[in-house]
Amino acid sequence: MKTPGMFQRWVSCIAALFCLLSALAVSTPAWTQPATVRMGYNKFWPTFPLHVGIAEKDFEKRGLKVEWVNFTTPNQILQAMVAGELDMGVLTGTNLATAYQQNIKVKAIAMMTGPSEPPVTYFVRKDLGIKSVRELKGRTIGVNGYGGNFDLFLRRHLVDNGLDPKTDVRIVEILTTQIIPALLSKQIDAGVVDGIFAATALKHYANDMVPLFTYRDVAPFRNGWNGFVLAVNDSYLAKNRKTAVEFVRACLDAVQFIHQNPQQGIKLYVEATGNKNALNMEKADDVPPDARILIPELQSEMDLMFQFGYSKTKANAGQMVDHSLLDEAARIK
């Protein structure tokens, strides 16, 4: 038979246990539920740290649940970030210049695509016998989009070689995947492709097209350039900095894997995207081990936006980059 004293002690124990369980339920959701990141990217872009990170489950290992949202263009990703539909996203320097001009609060925090080998290449039809940039006068040149890197770098190199991009050549928009077919069918005289398709052209179409110049020949970018960068909303970062740092750490894990296994990085990209053109590349280690954005080159890119009338004000690249997340992530084991 329970005595009143025993009953009171029993009730006290139950109450204490209930309080303990309640406290645990309140204080440990982060232990039981992974932090969620809404991430905008494109499945086929050569952002090897993301593709390898997905394949190697680097994000899950860091306690993250990533909602990968596929977009067609970086502009769409920026718009979704502005609308609050994404926390982070893959952007270009030109997007950052647009954000700066419109006072959109985003920061570039890590490089996702860097100087590849082969580099971004401007090809010409072999039958034209063009040997110099000056000989492009009167020719039709394909780029993947006006105001993008391919377009800006082309215009800069034309100017450096005495040509006016507005009057001396005809620049047309063609999807990157259609540049090689357009050259082969003689719809265009010259066109630009990224490193993946450049490797394919050099290996399989040397009788039809030849490289005229690459990014490495364009004056501000001879020492490197930024392809795609990882960006984050300032508002998200203010409330979820730890999660953002863990995401960056997962990217660094993937970058480290790629540098140790460069050919495997290519294979994982192909498995994720189905883009077998990447198999023509030797390795996927275009992003440096520290994944830091090249700020002087980013500034040059933004200056080209202003020079060629795609932005009304000169952007300040230093104000658009925050490397502190990389620094914090590098200290995490």
Q: What is the mean pLDDT of each run of 10 residues along the chain (333 residues)?
A: 46 44 40 81 96 97 97 96 97 95 95 96 98 98 95 98 98 96 98 96 97 97 96 97 98 98 95 93 94 97 96 93 98 91
pLDDT at 34: 77
Q: By three-state DSSP, how is residue 113 classified?
A: coil
Quote the tokens at residue 316: 């300040």
Among the four given CATH numbers 3.40.50.720, 3.30.420.40, 3.30.70.20, 3.40.190.10, the one describing domain 32-114+226-330? 3.40.190.10
Q: How many CB atoms lie within 10 A of CB 304?
A: 24
What is the rounded distance in angstroms from the CA atom of residue 127 to the CA atom of residue 208? Answer: 7
DSSP letter for 168, please.
T
What is the rounded distance in angstroms from the CA atom of residue 192 to the CA atom of residue 123? Answer: 6
pLDDT at 33: 66
pLDDT at 177: 93
What is the rounded distance in angstroms from the CA atom of residue 255 to the CA atom of residue 288? Answer: 8
pLDDT at 25: 42
The superfamily in CATH containing domain 121-221 is Periplasmic binding protein-like II (3.40.190.10)
Kindly calculate the radius of gyration of the chain based on its CA atoms and give it in whole angstroms. 25
What is the rounded distance in angstroms from the CA atom of residue 223 to the CA atom of residue 1? Answer: 86
The whole model's pTM is what? Answer: 0.87
What is the rounded distance in angstroms from the CA atom of residue 252 to the CA atom of residue 61? Answer: 13
Q: Where in the chain is CATH 3.40.190.10? A: 32-114+226-330, 121-221
